[in-house]
């Protein structure tokens, strides 16, 4: 059985885009994450150190986006998933990354990627 730790609708400002004007501004990105992790040890002990700390993960994502710039959301998603898996040591991740407003006729555009060890 796989348990999932969720982070939904995490809004992060980032410099991202292929156009010159995009490289000069912060744009809002929205992240949804599902991370596979055995929650039984945390549930048995009520110990935060035995689970995935969603505040720490959210802060990591925000800091990563502040410190890095990318042209493609595909690149950001791929590299961020790899970093998150290394730092927080979970088994797999399903990440949806949206860029609202990128296409005027759409509420949002984005990518969804699944990575596992």
User: What are the tokens at 57?
Assistant: 């993960």
> Secondary structure of the chain in the HEC alphabet?
CCCEEEEEEEEEEECECCCHHHHHCCEEEEEEEEEECCCHHHHHHCCHHHCCCHHHHHHHHHHHHHHCCECCHHHHHHHHHHHHHHHHCCCEEEEEEEEECCCCCCCEEEEEEEEEC
Q: Would you please indicate which residues are annotated as catalytic (active-site) residues?
A: 99
User: What are the tokens at 68?
Assistant: 């890095």
């Amino acid at each position: 059985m796989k348990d999932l730790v969720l982070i939904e609708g995490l809004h992060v400002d980032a410099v991202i885009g292929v156009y010159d004007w995009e490289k000069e501004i912060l744009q809002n990105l929205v992240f949804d994450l599902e991370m596979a992790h055995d929650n039984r040890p945390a549930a048995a002990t009520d110990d935060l150190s035995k689970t995935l700390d969603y505040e720490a993960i959210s802060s990591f994502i925000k800091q990563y986006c502040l410190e890095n710039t990318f042209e493609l959301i595909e690149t950001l998603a791929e590299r961020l998933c790899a970093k998150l898996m290394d730092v927080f040591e979970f088994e797999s991740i399903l990440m949806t990354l949206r860029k609202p407003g990128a296409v005027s006729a759409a509420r949002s555009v984005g990518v969804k990627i699944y990575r596992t060890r």
